Structure 1
Amino acid sequence: MSNRNFELQFSVRDYELDTQGVVNNSVYQNYLEHARHEFLKSVGINFNKLHENGTDAVVHKIELVYKKPLMGDDRFVVRTHAEKSGNVRFVFYQNIYRIPDDELILKGVVTAVFMENGRPIRPPKEVVSALQ
């Protein structure tokens, strides 16, 4: 289990709202992906360099539970941590909380696998050590 926790703050932008004036459901995946990439950078993992070296981290499964909506001009934080799962997977636990009341907005679980030439592989050693 990883003891690394990461937080990234955002603000809702007007163009992310749907007809009802709340953040469109698909936008939350963008928030989570950006937070995952920034999390990886913060522990020294360069997503692009992994690819250049022939290894790709790809999303295998996403589970999202929407608790409350975000609205225009809301500020929020994505809290992320990762855990190794089995031989080839990492699971990213990502929750979104509204600022300043810390209200839970979304619970996300994103499972990623590492691939080389289209086949699952064990995560590179530098990834495992960076996330432990």
Structure 2
Amino acid sequence: MEAKYVFETEMEVRDYECDIQGIVNNANYLHYTEHTRHLYLQSLGISFARLHEKGIDPVVARMNLQYKTPLRSDDVFVSKLGIRKEGLRYIFNQDIFRKADNRLCLRATVELVCLINGRLGNSEDYDRAFGFL
């Protein structure tokens, strides 16, 4: 089954993101996936600051990461995401591909929930932006 993506962005590995083995340190993939989600939200006109002022805060509840092919310094990669909703959870399916050969480097599932004034709740703002209303 082919993944359905709703957003993608291109990035480049920077030298300081690599470990002594010359490959991207595993923790940096979290930054890549988070940056992709932020860019996606910006593309939809969502402002974290504005929603925070309204008492709406999305938080990561769970992540599952599968490392497939390592990225190295100066590699250009494409970060893609798809999204679905299950109950109160927004589930982002995120894949990172090395651009030179389209090899899958990371497959991630990231589950977010919204805190509304500090309590777990449903956000109509996010539902509307993501097309779930």
Q: Do they superpose with TM above 0.5?
A: yes
1:24 match: 25
Q: Which amino acid aligns with 1:92?
A: F
Q: Which amino acid aligns with 1:110?
A: V
Q: Is the 8 A contact 2:116 2:122 kept in 1?
A: no
Q: Deviations along 1:1-50, whole A, 9 cap, x unmatched?
A: xx761111100000000010000000000000000010011112112211
Q: Which runs of 5+ in 2 are unaligned?
A: none
In the alignment, the residues of structure 2 paired with residue 63 and residue 80 of structure 1 have an alpha-carbon distance, to the nearest angstrom, of 14
Please list, as runs of the form range in 1=range in 2, the aligned pairs for 1:16-95 lying within 5 A after superposition: 16-86=17-87, 88-95=88-95
Q: Which amino acid aligns with 1:64?
A: L
In the alignment, the residues of structure 2 paired with residue 4 and residue 78 of structure 1 have an alpha-carbon distance, to the nearest angstrom, of 10
Deviation at residue 108 of structure 1 after TM alignment? 0.4
In the alignment, the residues of structure 2 paired with residue 64 and residue 111 of structure 1 have an alpha-carbon distance, to the nearest angstrom, of 12
1:122 match: 122
In the alignment, the residues of structure 1 paired with residue 65 and residue 22 of structure 2 have an alpha-carbon distance, to the nearest angstrom, of 20
In the alignment, the residues of structure 2 paired with residue 46 and residue 4 of structure 1 have an alpha-carbon distance, to the nearest angstrom, of 22
Q: Which amino acid aligns with 2:85?
A: K
In the alignment, the residues of structure 2 paired with residue 38 and residue 112 of structure 1 have an alpha-carbon distance, to the nearest angstrom, of 16
In the alignment, the residues of structure 1 paired with residue 5 and residue 125 of structure 2 have an alpha-carbon distance, to the nearest angstrom, of 15
Q: Is the 8 A contact 2:57 2:115 kept in 1?
A: yes
Q: Is the 8 A contact 1:8 1:79 kept in 2?
A: yes
Indicate yes or no: 2:96 matched with 1:101. Answer: no
Q: How many residue pairs get matched? A: 128
2:113 match: 113
Q: Which amino acid aligns with 1:129?
A: R
Give the TM-score taking structure 1 as reference length. 0.92
RMSD over aligned Cα atoms: 1.2
In the alignment, the residues of structure 1 paired with residue 102 and residue 127 of structure 2 have an alpha-carbon distance, to the nearest angstrom, of 31
